[in-house]
């Protein structure tokens, strides 16, 4: 079959080639069936539309129109990365890092939808895929000065080992279970892990208003759920510990920043609760044993040193990606 290529939007696309003709695309969408007609490109694929796509002021109509196109192509819009088979992002507004690993499929540029509409056929996703960036833990010669923390409405609590946390906190949802993590528990092979760190500089001003910070916070809370036992403790207790350790690691956060963000961002709170539920099941399925409190403290200390040593090299938010040929 002779293929013609043309420039559509900001990407070079191959016309006349659908998922059924493209082995790489087919491998990414094992659940997809053969496309039966030109107006059913997705055939039920679960699509996550990232918040960076037409999320600015005055772009509401464009985002709504894009959602309608996805539905018209027989796509199913989902609200959680973990439920997605396909993720659409704006390449100039987001840094595709490890937080997107939660998705069950590839991350591609949103232009794919518009180009399929123009071509009146399902195009190959190969030229639209975005390979996530991998960041190495590098140390600056001289650590950047630590910015002053956000003014706290309440004193930041001291970080205690998990088995020493008390039950006299004000909020009943933040009460730690009486059973602490066993100090003699031996971690399984799955526990050879480091604390996930943001690949950007967390801002001091309204940090959890940024999608990137919210994505990282969900990943961090998953880690806390997996490795800080016991696995059956209350959601409020998990969130309390996650917030406390975030404040210890990230200079721009204080110990209650994460918890207090739910007052403003209710949808974010829902995603955090969903991440905790999935992590609890993951821990149960894989037999993950909680880490000893001393090991947790060591990992937190390492994460704090690692993140703060590279502050001067990290990109600030909002991310401004340097545009290269092919990006818009």
pLDDT of residue 48: 92
Q: What CATH code is assigned to 8-128?
A: 3.40.50.10190
Going from N- to C-terminal start, the domains of the chain cover: 8-128, 162-313
Residues 288-315 as b/e (b if ≥16 CB within 10 A, e otherwise) read bbbbbbebbbebbeebbebbbbbbeebe
For residue 147, the model assigns a pLDDT of 53
Q: How far apart are alpha carbons 23 and 11 in whole angstroms?
A: 20
Strands (E), the chain: 4-8, 11-15, 46-49, 76-77, 86-89, 107-109
Q: Digits of tens for pLDDT over the chain (328 positions)?
A: 232 323 333 333 333 333 334 444 444 443 333 333 344 567 788 999 998 888 777 888 999 999 998 888 888 999 888 889 889 988 777 777 777 888 888 888 888 888 888 877 777 777 788 876 544 444 344 444 555 555 555 444 444 443 333 333 333 333 333 333 333 334 443 444 689 999 889 998 899 999 999 999 999 999 999 888 765 678 888 999 999 999 999 989 988 899 999 989 989 999 999 999 998 888 888 888 888 888 899 999 999 999 998 888 888 887 654 444 444 4
Residue 318 has what pLDDT? Answer: 77
DSSP string, 278-328: HHHHHHHHHTPPPPPHHHHHHHHHHHHHHHHHTGGGSPBSSP-PPP-TT--
């Amino acid at each position: 079959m002779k293929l013609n290529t043309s420039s559509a939007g900001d990407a070079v696309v191959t016309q006349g080639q659908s998922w059924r003709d493209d082995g790489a695309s087919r491998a990414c969408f094992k659940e997809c069936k053969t496309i039966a007609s030109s107006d059913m490109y997705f055939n039920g694929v679960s699509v996550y539309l990232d918040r960076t796509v037409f999320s600015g002021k005055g772009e509401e109509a464009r985002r709504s129109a894009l959602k309608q196109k996805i539905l018209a192509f027989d796509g199913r819009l989902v609200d959680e990365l973990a439920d997605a088979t396909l993720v659409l992002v704006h390449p100039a507004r987001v840094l595709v890092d490890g937080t997107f690993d939660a998705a069950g499929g590839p991350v591609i540029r949103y232009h794919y939808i518009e180009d399929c509409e123009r071509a009146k056929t399902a195009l190959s996703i190969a030229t639209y895929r975005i390979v996530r960036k991998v960041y190495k833990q590098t140390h600056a010669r001289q650590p950047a000065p630590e910015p002053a923390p956000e003014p706290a409405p309440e004193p930041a609590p001291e970080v205690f080992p998990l088995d020493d946390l008390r039950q006299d906190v004000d909020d009943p949802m933040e009460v730690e279970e009486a059973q602490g993590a066993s100090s003699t528990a031996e971690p399984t092979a799955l526990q050879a892990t480091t604390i996930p760190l943001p690949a950007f500089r967390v801002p001091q001003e309204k940090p959890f208003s940024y999608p990137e910070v919210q994505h990282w916070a969900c990943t961090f809370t998953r880690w806390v759920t997996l490795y800080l036992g016991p696995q059956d403790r209350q959601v409020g207790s998990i969130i309390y510990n996650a917030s406390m350790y975030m404040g210890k690691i990230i200079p721009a956060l204080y110990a209650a920043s994460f918890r207090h963000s739910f007052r403003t961002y209710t949808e974010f709170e829902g995603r955090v609760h969903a991440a905790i539920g999935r992590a609890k099941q993951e821990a149960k399925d894989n037999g993950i044993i909680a880490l000893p409190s001393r090991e947790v403290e060591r990992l937190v200390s390492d994460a704090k040193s690692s993140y703060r040593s590279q502050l001067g090299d990290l990109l600030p938010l909002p991310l401004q990606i340097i545009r290269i040929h092919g990006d818009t």
